[in-house]
Amino acid sequence: MTARVLVVDDLEPNVKLLEAKLRAEYFEVMTALSGEEAIRIAAEQQPDIVLLDVMMPGLDGFETCERLKANEKTWHIPVVMVTALDQQADRVAGLKAGADDFLTKPVQDIALFARVKSLTRFKQMTDELRHRHEAGARMGVLSQADLSKFDEQHATILAVTDCESIPALDQGSEHLPKHISVVYENDARMALEALRRGEPDLVLIDLSMESYDPLRLCSAIRAFDMTRLAPLLAIASRDETRHVVRALELGVSDYLMTPIDSEELAARVRTQLRRMRHIEHLRSSFDQTLEMAIMDQLTGLYNRRFLGAQGSRLVEEAHKSGEPLACLMVDIDHFKMVNDTYGHDAGDHILKEIAARLTTSVRGSDLACRTGGEEFAIIMPRTPRESAHEIANRVLRAVSGDKVKLDDGQTLDVTVSIGVSILHEGDKLATVLKRADEALYRSKQNGRNQVTDEAA
Amino acid sequence: MTARVLVVDDLEPNVKLLEAKLRAEYFEVMTALSGEEAIRIAAEQQPDIVLLDVMMPGLDGFETCERLKANEKTWHIPVVMVTALDQQADRVAGLKAGADDFLTKPVQDIALFARVKSLTRFKQMTDELRHRHEAGARMGVLSQADLSKFDEQHATILAVTDCESIPALDQGSEHLPKHISVVYENDARMALEALRRGEPDLVLIDLSMESYDPLRLCSAIRAFDMTRLAPLLAIASRDETRHVVRALELGVSDYLMTPIDSEELAARVRTQLRRMRHIEHLRSSFDQTLEMAIMDQLTGLYNRRFLGAQGSRLVEEAHKSGEPLACLMVDIDHFKMVNDTYGHDAGDHILKEIAARLTTSVRGSDLACRTGGEEFAIIMPRTPRESAHEIANRVLRAVSGDKVKLDDGQTLDVTVSIGVSILHEGDKLATVLKRADEALYRSKQNGRNQVTDEAA
């Protein structure tokens, strides 16, 4: 584990001291002598972590931290505040400014390396996701996360402790983000179960537990994919420093020393929850692009690409199992005329409405796609010819049964023409679709608003 | 750092010994007493790493490894072979079976934890990408990587050493994957430069270098995003074990002991290159879904979604800068009739051909999109009305100038109608597009194959 560390302090001897310590452990070090310089270097050089002195002339550490966290180029870089005094007020002010952690001067090696490694490990694990997401955001198809919204979501904290309660957690609820609920658990195995069911959003582990080795619990949580990045806060007393270091090595996200200050607890909980939600946002953005890649944006049906991929799979399965598979091709009648007469907006409205009626007429196992302008394909696995005709007629009635109401209140009669085909031995997807399309063409020739079989 | 380790050995005392060592360091341990059991558990439980005994009745270690690497559910899990004898032949056989590394019995703690941590760190860093990719593969829009193809790609190895050459690398070229070239570098700074330019695919670092601290070089390589996952092989002599452990901690991918066996070197190089290519494949799959999300599959033009995102951005910029912005709406004349007469395939062919002519008629700074069936929109930043008309007329001529040749050899006259509009103060994207669309409508009314201005 190595990392690029930006050391910020207005006093050069302090900078040199930290730089020497870090370089001896093979970290790469950059330095800045003021808040302004730190902000510039952080944006340009993208360090993995910033060690930030609190007391500086000009921009002090709090303000520098706030600006780093507000800048879209630097908000993701963890910031550790380095304070001369171990003052509770400073810690809370720093956390409110968005700092991820604290070190007290003179900086102890163990604490320094534990924090740097733990914070950069997390950053490096999420960097890949972040880079991909930013590519999508640059193209305008993915949105940047709105951090302020994260605080408004409901969250459940699971507190694992032998004690009946953690007073700071209950007292501190005025400081905690809104919509937080706390659940206590004194059985480590039950806690793990709850985590695997995805119940808690954050876990607090009391390192003074005696009923179960709390480090074993940390390890078990971190060893599973599903809970590898779950927020995990350790609580320890001053004489358990070695436990804390070990817990950080095992991947605990953060820790608090007893007696717990409720405001500090609240600030750390908020930081961890934001982080977790940010990862969730990054993950879901991939699912979003995937969805965009296979869905028709206007109608919400699957698109032609997905018809090709999934339809071919269904055809293969049908050949293997010997079960019948049916296809419908559906085309809206006189759509061009409607579009020209009532305008594009009306055309779009009709497409959406017909897609919706189609969706409610087919079954959950059917694959309904928009293949082009006003044309739809439906692949129906495990469906013989008779059932295919039943469903085709259901679609016909669903479309023609009720007039389509336009936004301006006008109503229109809309009908569709349908072609039906059944998978034959040796057919590819394209072949069976083509026969349905030819049958559809005959429906059009014979006066529209009707279902025609490939054999007719 | 913690991980879920699967220990495989037919002798229970061996299993118990490794289990105890690993559990004392807070690893989660699963066990299997045969190759068959190992394969089943690995597929079901998805450990982070497998420690696999070579000598077992039934499936031996080599065959078990081969099957694990051939199974799509387990191929990504690193396998460390545990051999009773430190025989070169076993090592090479293991590497050929796809093993990621070796441990020799009796297993030394330092070597054990160094290997387990290094291999699982890599796996955990790529797990996120892999999970996303698999979601895409399940939907059929992303392809699984074809590992065998990876070996056929060209690769450059950068060997950083004070020596003039590494004999095993030159001698060993018969064992190396085809299309490998080797470059030597004795200046660490130059090596780093080359890496940042993305030149080498794999770096060999000689840990006995004296001109520069080789560990510092490892750290510098790992500290940068761009080279964080680059394959990095260390070469060390037997008396440099401590160096090796430190190098592994800093993130070196693998190591070799001198004297180097050229076949072992070749096998390790192949493993590392495959891994690197696999990550590249995962990364590019995200870019692919992104592309699918913004491109029209048939014509390769941007789609309506991207027009909305990027077009709005261009409109905003134009309002800010005060520079003119123009829009064209383009619609193929009588397309429905062509489609009905010549069939869908001919229709698709015409759409592709017109899209290609459109692309060559507009400029690189213009945004050309297919907005629906046979309709296209072009947003032209920094373009006054006059230039917009010039380009519109160029499109008109590019379409009507040459007949479109269908696949069956028939040729068709195709024309388009075009509407032109210019961004006015306060316009949104939709407003300026709508005016171009209205102008397009007048082009149609007046006989098609012409350009009409919004003001006409």
Tell me what pLDDT residue B96 has. 84
Q: Is residue B85 predicted with pLDDT exceeding 70? A: no
Under the banding of pLDDT at 50, 70 and 90, the label for residue A147 is low
| Interval A222-233 mean pLDDT | 87
Whether pLDDT at B246 is above 80: yes
Q: Is the pLDDT of residue A149 over 80?
A: no
pLDDT reported for residue B383: 96
Mutation target for B interface from A27, A113, A132: give the one with most B CBs within 10 A. A132
Q: What is the pLDDT of residue B317?
A: 94
Q: Which of B44, B374, B386, B454 is catalytic?
A: B374
pLDDT tops 70 at residue B205: yes
Q: From the CA of A57, how many Å to the nearest CA of chain B? A: 31
Distance CA B212, CA B397 (A): 65
Residue of A nearest to B344 (CA): A437
In this predicted structure, the answer to whether residue B88 has a pLDDT above a threshold of 80 is no
B362 pLDDT band, cuts 50/70/90, is very high
Residues of A in contact with B48 (CB under 8 A): 223
Comparing A1-10, A117-126, A292-301, the range with the smallest average pLDDT is: A117-126
Which pLDDT belongs to residue A117? Answer: 84
The rounded percent of chain B whose pLDDT value lies above 90 is 55
Average pLDDT for residues A178-198, to the nearest whole number?
89
Shortest Cα distance from A85 to chain B (angstroms)?
A: 31
Lowest mean pLDDT among A154-168, A439-453, B420-434, B436-450: A154-168
Q: In this complex, which of B140, B222, B437 lies closest to A2 when CB atoms are compared?
A: B222
- Arithmetic mean of pLDDT, B194-215: 91
Q: Which residue has the higher pLDDT, A319 or B373?
A: A319
Distance between first and last Cα of chain B: 71
CB neighbours of residue A88 within 10 Å: 11
The residue of chain B nearest to residue A438, with distances taken between CA atoms, is B343
Confidence of residue B117 (pLDDT cuts 50, 70, 90): confident
On whether any CB of chain A is under 8 Å from the CB of B442, the answer is: no
CA dist A374 and A347 (Å) reads 9
Confidence of residue B316 (pLDDT cuts 50, 70, 90): very high
pLDDT greater than 80 at residue A148: no
Enclosing H/E stretch for B85:
none
pLDDT at site B24: 93
Q: Which CATH number fits domain B145-293: 3.40.50.2300, 3.40.50.300, 3.30.70.890, 1.10.3210.10?
A: 3.40.50.2300
Residue B131 predicted with pLDDT over 90: no
A304 contacts in chain B (CB < 8 Å):
297-298
Least confident stretch, A268-282, B4-18, B201-215? A268-282
- In whole numbers, what is the pLDDT of chain A averaged over residues? 90
pLDDT at B147 over 70: no
Which of B128, B141, B344 minimises the CB distance to A293?
B141
CB A302 within 8 A of CB B315: no
Segment B256-309, tens digit of pLDDT: 888 888 888 888 888 888 888 888 888 888 788 888 888 998 999 999 889 998
Q: Mean pLDDT throughout A341-354?
A: 91
Mean pLDDT score, A84-104: 81
Q: What pLDDT is attached to residue B86?
A: 63
In this complex, is the C-beta atom of A437 within 8 Å of any C-beta atom belonging to chain B? yes
Residue A63 confidence (pLDDT) above 90: yes
Residue B125 confidence (pLDDT) above 80? no
- Sequence ranges of the domains in chain A: 1-138, 145-287, 304-453
> What's the pLDDT band for B395 if we cut at 50, 70, 90?
very high
pLDDT (0 to 100) of residue B420: 98
User: Among A45-49, A215-219, B119-123, B298-302, which is the least confidently predicted range?
Assistant: B119-123
* The pLDDT value given to residue B180: 87
CB distance B128–A287 less than 8 Å? no
Q: What is the pLDDT of residue A289?
A: 84
pLDDT at B216 over 90: yes
At a CB cut-off of 8 Å and minimum separation 6, what does A75 contact? A68, A69, A147
Q: What number is the average pLDDT over the span B120-135?
A: 82
pLDDT-derived band at A204, boundaries 50, 70, 90: very high
Does residue B318 carry a pLDDT above 90?
Answer: yes
Thinking of the domain A145-287, which architecture would CATH place it in? Answer: 3-Layer(aba) Sandwich (3.40)
pLDDT of res. A327 = 98
Report the residue of chain A nearest B340, measured CA to CA.
A441
Q: Closest-CA residue in chain B for A372?
A: B373
Q: What is the mean pLDDT of residues A45-55?
A: 94
Most confident of the following: A85-99, A232-246, A421-435: A421-435
DSSP A204: E
ipTM above 0.85 for this complex: no
What's the average model confidence in pLDDT over B397-416? 93
Calculate mean pLDDT across residues A276-299: 86
CB contact under 8 A, B249 and A309: no
CB B383 within 8 Å of CB B321: no
B214 with B237: CB under 8 angstroms? no
Examine the pLDDT at A150 and tell me if it is beyond 90. Answer: no
Q: Of A274, A282, A278, A291, whose CA–CA distance to A134 is shortest?
A: A282
Q: Known catalytic residues of A?
A: 374
Average per-residue pLDDT in chain B? 90
Contact yes or no for B73/B56 (Cβ under 8 A): no
Label residue B21 by pLDDT band (50, 70, 90).
very high
Mean pLDDT of B211-226: 90
Judged by a CB distance cut-off of 8 A, whether residue A428 touches chain B is: no
* B178 pLDDT above the threshold of 80: no
Contact A43, A71 (CB under 8 A): yes
Whether A397 contacts chain B with CB within 8 A: no
Find out whether B147 and B194 touch, Cβ atoms under 8 Å: no
Q: Which of A125, A287, A290 sits opposite B125 (nearest CB)?
A: A125
Long-range (24+ apart) CB contacts under 8 A made by A436-442 are A436/A327, A436/A328, A436/A329, A436/A377, A437/A329, A437/B344, A439/A329, A440/A329, A440/A330, A440/A331
DSSP per-residue letters across B317-360: HHHHH---EEEEEEEETTHHHHHHHH-HHHHHHHHHHHHHHHHH
**A173 has a pLDDT exceeding 70:** no
- Pick from A36-50, A62-76, B114-128: least confident: B114-128
Where residue A167 falls among pLDDT bands split at 50, 70, 90? confident
- State the best of A45, A128, A142, A282 to mutate against chain B, taking most chain B CBs within 10 Å: A128
Cβ-based contacts of B437 with chain A (< 8 Å): 344
For the domain covering B304-453, report its CATH number.
3.30.70.270
Q: Chain A, 39-68: which have a CB under 8 Å from a chain B CB? A: 46, 48
Domain B1-121, CATH number (from 3.40.640.10, 3.40.50.2300, 3.30.830.10, 3.40.50.12160): 3.40.50.2300
- Residues in B 243-262 with any Cβ partner in A closer than 8 A: 246, 249-251
What was the pLDDT predicted at B43?
A: 96
The arithmetic mean of pLDDT across residues B65-80, rounded, is 91
User: Which residue from A minimizes the CA distance to B245?
Assistant: A1
- Residues with Cβ < 8 Å from B83, sequence gap 6 or more? B54, B55, B61, B90, B91, B94, B102, B103, B104, B105
The CATH fold of domain A1-138: Rossmann fold (3.40.50)
Q: pLDDT band for position A86 (50/70/90)?
A: low
What pLDDT score does B63 carry? 96
Evaluate whether B1-121 and B145-293 have a shared fold: yes
The pLDDT value recorded for residue A85 is 64
